[in-house]
A and B are shown apart, each in its own frame.
Chain A
Amino acid sequence: ETGVTQTPRHLVMGMTNKKSLKCEQHLGHNAMYWYKQSAKKPLELMFVYNFKEQTENNSVPSRFSPECPNSSHLFLHLHTLQPEDSALYLCASSRGGDLWVNEQFFGPGTRLTVL
């Protein structure tokens, strides 16, 4: 285990539903990330939080809404999604801070299917 947990592991939702993905890290890190992994496409960075402040929003549609209440928890709130949003959503964390890249530790992901 990497020390990054994600729930639920699988989620099926209709286009009119509202759901949330949860990520928790037990590594004492200060940066957390949401990625989208679709078949035959590179991992796409969606959001970055560094010390609870959002530092990156990679042109993500507003139907995805992140929340980072503290350095250990990260949520991704979903509403009125489209079938093309079906993918594996990965959370990652790293030591964070300025200047230096730190190794990113990934969770197992949430497999999302939008009907």
Chain B
Amino acid sequence: DGGITQSPKYLFRKEGQNVTLSCEQNLNHDAMYWYRQDPGQGLRLIYYSQIVNDFQKGDIAEGYSVSREKKESFPLTVTSAQKNPTAFYLCASRRTPSTDTQYFGPGTRLTVL
């Protein structure tokens, strides 16, 4: 089965802790993305990566960090510097170079206690 997996599905964090969200794809896509979705709002881009060992900030990168050491993996760390981290986090990938669509994972819901 080809696709994108995210884990865990639900994540609870205490204030002041860093947490890492996993995103893995076996679609052989070069580009990967992290979005944040808040209730009643559209998706906002956190970080994206077009190629291994390279990534760029999106519109709301403050308080987040990423790495891209392997083509298949693009983990997102939510640091204690993120003021309001409770949200639904979505990972996506896309075949490049092309104007193809993005393929999304099932999401991780992060709640800060």
Q: Do A and B come from one complex?
A: no
Query: Chain A residues in contact with chain B, CB under 8 A?
Result: none
